[in-house]
Chains A and B, each alone.
Chain A
Amino acid sequence: MAVQDALPGRVGSGGNAVLNDQRVRGVIFQVLLIVAIVSFAWWIIHNTAVNLRAQGIEFGFDIMLDSAGFQINQTLIDYQETSSYVRVYFVGLFNTLLVSLIGIIMATIIGFVVGIARLSNNWIVAKAAYVYIEVLRNIPLLLQIFIWYFAVLRLLPPKREAIDLGPLGLLNIAGWYAPSPVFGPGFDFVVGAILLGLAASFLIRAWARRRQMATGERFPVFWTALALVVAVPIVVYFLADALTKGAPLTMEYATQGNFGPRGGTRIFPEFIGLLFALSFYTASFIAEIVRAGILAVPHGQTEASFSLGLRPGHTLRLVVIPQALRVIIPPLTSQYLNLTKNSSLAVAIAYPDLVSVFAGTALNQTGRAVEFILITMATYLAISLVTSAFMNWYNSRVALVER
């Protein structure tokens, strides 16, 4: 095809003029392309069908309803060995989303801190941030996962000993045994107080804004909201404690069992290793994005803002950050997406994410490669597309409106 197109068309040198029309050529080329793609797809599907038949495998998704028969350690939803592969899928998906979500939060915090530190006029802080970025982003993520899981976490005490973190629970090589909350009868009131506080804060904010527009007077919205959302619920908590004779919230700690601590909320080391590797690695990219974003706001903006009499805090909040965010958000979203996709490397350290339990263990047990891999890819594709759609929407919202 490329052979034909590489020829310069000789317009007007006789012959069939129709074939020399750019549009006709376009149509012919596109038709040929469709034919090629369809026949290629048919060829692959045909081969797959023949091969599957030769192996005596029937293509179909009814296998998803069979019982899985294996155990998974970290499950956010109820799961037993007798559960179906559909449930395995959701266990994997939720584990992927969990590590991605927490990873995104951690990576953002670390990334912003390091990115701002990189611009600091404190020499040692700036250099340390520079070294962090250059080291972390130039070492493959998979290797970093191995280092966290097989080298760093190995320095923790063995299973039957533990570092006592006091109110935070116990920590050893088998993970972090965090306290798990037990909700008492009065806890509903506390939740209610928080929700009411949130609603009231929003109302007050709207009112304060209107008033400022009308009169120019300001109202300390932030402190009011803080009081409503934090202070009031604390008061309610102690009231409920006194009235219902039983703490609304108690913490259950892990106790020593035969094979190390038991009970509490268990955070698995696979999760910790993967989370740390993902966040520290992605943070090195986010830091560079943040730096570029801040540098992209011309210094004149700050000066102009000062000359208008805005205080440094307001300058940062109202002038610099909104403009920097416009540069930061698009690449930041694609880093979030990368982190989510990279969480599939969990398979290397036995964290039960989607790829590990569904495209890994379940696939191995059934030998049904086509169905399991198709579903896995489709899931990631859906996550990507939803994120891109959101990003496009956001971009169009914050895009510079030129007049």
Chain B
Amino acid sequence: MSDIQAESDLTYVREEMLAEAPPPVRDKGAVAWLRKNLFSSWLNGAMTVLALYVIWVIVPPLLNFAFFDAVWEGASREACATQQQGGVQPNGWFGACWPYIGDYFAQFVYGRYPIDQRWRVDIVFALFVIGLVPLLIPSAPAKGPNIVYMAVIFPVVALLLLSGGDFEYGSFIGIGEALASAAYDAGFWIDYALLALVFLGLAFAWAKATGAHALEPIKLVLVIMAALAVLLFLLGFDFGLESVPTSVWGGLLVTLVIAVTGIAASLPLGILLALGRRSDMPIVRFVCVVFIEFWRGVPLITVLFMSSVMLPLFLPEGVSFDKLLRALIGVALFSAAYMAEVVRGGLQAIPKGQYEGADAVGLAYWQKMRLIILPQALTLVIPGIVNTFIGLFKDTTLVLIIGLFDFLGQIQSSFTDPSWATPVQAVTAYLFAAFVYWVFCFAMSRYSIFTENRLRAGHQR
């Protein structure tokens, strides 16, 4: 500056701005990014190298196995065996055997469900997706009818389609059997009508005793018994579908049946248990705590062992449960206990003022829960519920230990087929299974994060 002044009297005034200079090379582009994110210090550099090495050890062999060295076409084990093993591949070859997955793909999805009846499973899958997708999109309209569809219509239709319906019911009190002699269904309906009458009488007596209006409880009993009757009638009606026993169900079908039934049964049961655990009634609380802690304290596999070898002993002689149903009961009770703890978390998160406010406007217990507390609590714990569902979905694999053929069980059972038996068979199949499970679980966990963010945004305003 001083020498500028020395040359002229005038103070130097710059008349235009200097052009923006580019940042130094080391601070821009890929190099800077690398410096900042990977090599900011010696330690960081070492970690980068280590991480790259780990990736190098794992990823290329995996890609080679799954894609570059894999066999894509073939009709039998020769295509996927080395010459030493009696096949066509060079010795030392190690790659995936995809034609085997292709050959067995239908079995992995449907199990041993009769081939000419598989359209029924397809319809059930389609109905499920139709109901599920709008339910998951928060902005989709008609949530109420949608829930009714998923909770009532879909299960009945799915059960009818999958099993073929036409169930027979026996007389369960014995009066019907005496009146209608051997006729199976008639005996049942007579007994059912009697039972309905008994319930009506009880409702009437309760109304009289409490001084309430008699019409309301009677209406309630009538509606419930009628709905149940319609349901039972539908299940007992012969739609002309071929009966498919659950022993031939398998693959992804069984995995989804167990997972969906498990969640559907565990949610209401879990809510009841959570409410019971926070009840003022000491005995109710005690029973719920014992129930929850018992199921949470034992491994699922012992629960499944119990349901597969002990449950038959619990039932009266001559009564047996379907093997799949036994597993379902075990899974549902087990996940209900976990669900109860998730719901309890939601109940605890609701400010006390909400409970007191509901009490102040004179709501009865169930009204308070149904209208004020549960809607808030359940919305809060949607991520937790989804996480429980992910756990349940992964846990469905355990049923293969008790001899059910779920997706993983079906894959394992395909190893017995000598026409595809090669050393790469199991690795290929496990890779495929891992991918399928991962896609399902990852999608669910993404959805859970999505709801979490949406909820947080709602609270932040």
Question: Interface of A with B (CB < 8 Å)?
Answer: 3-10, 13-17, 19-20, 26, 29-30, 33-34, 37, 44, 47-48, 50-52, 54, 120-125, 128, 134-135, 137-144, 146-147, 150-151, 154, 341-342, 344-345, 347-348, 355, 359, 363, 369-370, 373, 376-377, 380-381, 383-385, 388
Given the known interface contacts A122-B37, A135-B438, the answer about A380 and B314 at a Cβ–Cβ threshold of 8 Å is no
| Nearest chain A CB to B38 CB, angstrom units | 6
Q: In the complex, which residue of chain B has the Cβ closest to the Cβ of A9?
A: B364
Across the interface, do B297 and A48 meet the contact criterion of CB distance under 8 Å? Answer: no
| Nearest chain A CB to B432 CB, angstrom units | 11
List chain A residues, Cβ under 8 A from B55. Answer: 128
List chain B residues, Cβ under 8 A from A370. Answer: 310, 313
Residue contacts A-B, CB under 8 angstroms, 10 given: A4-B217, A13-B211, A13-B213, A120-B47, A121-B37, A124-B48, A134-B445, A138-B438, A151-B430, A381-B297
Which among B37, B296, B430 is the interface contact of A146 at CB below 8 angstroms?
B430
Whether, in the assembled complex, B301 has its beta carbon less than 8 Å from a beta carbon of chain A, the answer is: yes
Whether, in the assembled complex, B243 has its beta carbon less than 8 Å from a beta carbon of chain A, the answer is: no
Across the interface, do A143 and B433 meet the contact criterion of CB distance under 8 Å? Answer: yes
List chain B residues, Cβ under 8 A from A138. Answer: 390, 437-438, 441-442, 445
Which among A121, A125, A150, A355 is the interface contact of B301 at CB below 8 angstroms?
A355
Most chain A beta-carbon neighbours within 10 Å: one of B280, B314, B437 = B314
Across the interface, do B51 and A125 meet the contact criterion of CB distance under 8 Å? Answer: yes
Across the interface, do A13 and B47 meet the contact criterion of CB distance under 8 Å? Answer: no
Across the interface, do A134 and B434 meet the contact criterion of CB distance under 8 Å? Answer: no
Interface-located stretch among B105-113, B376-384, B394-402: B394-402
Q: In the complex, which residue of chain A has the Cβ closest to the Cβ of B435?
A: A139
List chain A residues, Cβ under 8 A from B314. Answer: 44, 47-48
Across the interface, do A7 and B302 meet the contact criterion of CB distance under 8 Å? Answer: no
Separation of A45 and B301 alpha carbons in the complex (Å): 23
Whether, in the assembled complex, B44 has its beta carbon less than 8 Å from a beta carbon of chain A, the answer is: yes
List chain B residues, Cβ under 8 A from A146. Answer: 408, 412, 430
Across the interface, do A355 and B299 meet the contact criterion of CB distance under 8 Å? Answer: yes
List chain A residues, Cβ under 8 A from B42. Answer: none
Separation of A319 and B293 alpha carbons in the complex (Å): 35
Whether, in the assembled complex, B10 has its beta carbon less than 8 Å from a beta carbon of chain A, the answer is: no
| Nearest chain B CB to A117 CB, angstrom units | 8
List chain B residues, Cβ under 8 A from A363. Answer: 309
Range of interface residues on B (Cβ < 8 Å): 35 or more
Across the interface, do A384 and B297 meet the contact criterion of CB distance under 8 Å? Answer: yes
Interface-located stretch among B126-134, B163-171, B281-289, B350-358: B281-289
Across the interface, do A142 and B398 meet the contact criterion of CB distance under 8 Å? Answer: yes
Whether, in the assembled complex, B361 has its beta carbon less than 8 Å from a beta carbon of chain A, the answer is: no
| Nearest chain B CB to A16 CB, angstrom units | 5
14 new A-B pairs (CB below 8 Å) besides A15-B210, A139-B437, A355-B299?
A3-B217, A4-B217, A9-B364, A15-B208, A26-B281, A50-B316, A122-B48, A135-B438, A140-B397, A146-B408, A146-B412, A151-B426, A154-B423, A355-B302
Separation of A384 and B337 alpha carbons in the complex (Å): 14
Whether, in the assembled complex, B135 has its beta carbon less than 8 Å from a beta carbon of chain A, the answer is: no
Across the interface, do B408 and A142 meet the contact criterion of CB distance under 8 Å? Answer: yes
Across the interface, do A7 and B216 meet the contact criterion of CB distance under 8 Å? Answer: yes
Across the interface, do B305 and A125 meet the contact criterion of CB distance under 8 Å? Answer: no
Which among B296, B313, B426 is the interface contact of A52 at CB below 8 angstroms?
B313
Separation of A150 and B424 alpha carbons in the complex (Å): 11
Across the interface, do A7 and B442 meet the contact criterion of CB distance under 8 Å? Answer: no
Across the interface, do B430 and A150 meet the contact criterion of CB distance under 8 Å? Answer: yes
Q: In the complex, which residue of chain A has the Cβ closest to the Cβ of B34?
A: A123
Given the known interface contacts A124-B48, A125-B48, A355-B302, the answer about A373 and B445 at a Cβ–Cβ threshold of 8 Å is no
Across the interface, do A140 and B437 meet the contact criterion of CB distance under 8 Å? Answer: yes
Whether, in the assembled complex, B203 has its beta carbon less than 8 Å from a beta carbon of chain A, the answer is: yes
Separation of A331 and B366 alpha carbons in the complex (Å): 32
List chain A residues, Cβ under 8 A from B54. Answer: 128
Binding site secondary structure of chain B: helix
Binding site secondary structure of chain A: helix
| Nearest chain A CB to B50 CB, angstrom units | 8
Across the interface, do B401 and A347 meet the contact criterion of CB distance under 8 Å? Answer: yes
Q: In the complex, which residue of chain B has the Cβ closest to the Cβ of A57?
A: B313
Given the known interface contacts A124-B48, A348-B401, the answer about A150 and B426 at a Cβ–Cβ threshold of 8 Å is yes
Across the interface, do A377 and B306 meet the contact criterion of CB distance under 8 Å? Answer: yes
List chain B residues, Cβ under 8 A from A345. Answer: 301, 398, 401
Given the known interface contacts A3-B217, A30-B281, A140-B437, the answer about A15 and B316 at a Cβ–Cβ threshold of 8 Å is no
Across the interface, do A8 and B302 meet the contact criterion of CB distance under 8 Å? Answer: no
Tell me which residues from 257 to 306 in chain B have a Cβ below 8 Å from any Cβ of chain A: 280-284, 287, 293-294, 296-302, 305-306
List chain A residues, Cβ under 8 A from B281. Answer: 26, 29-30
Across the interface, do A380 and B408 meet the contact criterion of CB distance under 8 Å? Answer: no
List chain B residues, Cβ under 8 A from A348. Answer: 401
Separation of A107 and B316 alpha carbons in the complex (Å): 46
Q: In the complex, which residue of chain B has the Cβ closest to the Cβ of A123?
A: B37
Separation of A232 and B280 alpha carbons in the complex (Å): 62
Q: In the complex, which residue of chain A has the Cβ closest to the Cβ of B55?
A: A128
| Nearest chain B CB to A147 CB, angstrom units | 5
Which among A17, A123, A140 is the interface contact of B395 at CB below 8 angstroms?
A140
Which among B203, B313, B366, B433 is the interface contact of A51 at CB below 8 angstroms?
B313
Whether, in the assembled complex, B1 has its beta carbon less than 8 Å from a beta carbon of chain A, the answer is: no
Across the interface, do B211 and A20 meet the contact criterion of CB distance under 8 Å? Answer: yes
| Nearest chain A CB to B371 CB, angstrom units | 12
Separation of A12 and B427 alpha carbons in the complex (Å): 72
Which among A20, A122, A141, A381 is the interface contact of B47 at CB below 8 angstroms?
A122
Across the interface, do A373 and B394 meet the contact criterion of CB distance under 8 Å? Answer: no
Whether, in the assembled complex, B315 has its beta carbon less than 8 Å from a beta carbon of chain A, the answer is: yes
Whether, in the assembled complex, B227 has its beta carbon less than 8 Å from a beta carbon of chain A, the answer is: no
Q: In the complex, which residue of chain A has the Cβ closest to the Cβ of B442?
A: A138
| Nearest chain B CB to A119 CB, angstrom units | 13
| Nearest chain B CB to A224 CB, angstrom units | 28
Whether, in the assembled complex, B21 has its beta carbon less than 8 Å from a beta carbon of chain A, the answer is: no
Which among A139, A376, A381 is the interface contact of B434 at CB below 8 angstroms?
A139
Which among A9, A47, A123 is the interface contact of B210 at CB below 8 angstroms?
A9
Across the interface, do B310 and A369 meet the contact criterion of CB distance under 8 Å? Answer: yes
Across the interface, do B317 and A50 meet the contact criterion of CB distance under 8 Å? Answer: yes
List chain B residues, Cβ under 8 A from A6. Answer: 220, 366
List chain A residues, Cβ under 8 A from B364. Answer: 8-9
The digit string for B210-231, where 1 denotes a CB below 8 A from any CB of A, is 1111001100110010000000
List chain B residues, Cβ under 8 A from A150. Answer: 426, 430
Given the known interface contacts A30-B283, A147-B434, the answer about A377 and B209 at a Cβ–Cβ threshold of 8 Å is no
Q: In the complex, which residue of chain A has the Cβ closest to the Cβ of B412?
A: A146
List chain B residues, Cβ under 8 A from A373. Answer: 302, 305-306, 309-310
Which among B301, B315, B438 is the interface contact of A347 at CB below 8 angstroms?
B301
Separation of A348 and B430 alpha carbons in the complex (Å): 15
Across the interface, do A16 and B211 meet the contact criterion of CB distance under 8 Å? Answer: yes
Which among B210, B309, B427 is the interface contact of A16 at CB below 8 angstroms?
B210
Across the interface, do A19 and B306 meet the contact criterion of CB distance under 8 Å? Answer: no
Given the known interface contacts A16-B210, A20-B211, A30-B281, the answer about A128 and B51 at a Cβ–Cβ threshold of 8 Å is yes
Separation of A86 and B305 alpha carbons in the complex (Å): 20
List chain A residues, Cβ under 8 A from B213. Answer: 10, 13
Whether, in the assembled complex, B125 has its beta carbon less than 8 Å from a beta carbon of chain A, the answer is: no
List chain A residues, Cβ under 8 A from B209. Answer: 15-16, 19
Whether, in the assembled complex, B450 has its beta carbon less than 8 Å from a beta carbon of chain A, the answer is: no
List chain A residues, Cβ under 8 A from B211. Answer: 10, 13-17, 19-20
Tell me which residues from 361 to 413 in chain B have a Cβ below 8 Å from any Cβ of chain A: 364-367, 390, 394-398, 400-401, 408, 412
Q: Which 5 A-B pairs have the closest CB atoms?
A: A15-B211, A384-B297, A123-B37, A138-B441, A140-B394
Whether, in the assembled complex, B184 has its beta carbon less than 8 Å from a beta carbon of chain A, the answer is: no
Across the interface, do A122 and B44 meet the contact criterion of CB distance under 8 Å? Answer: yes
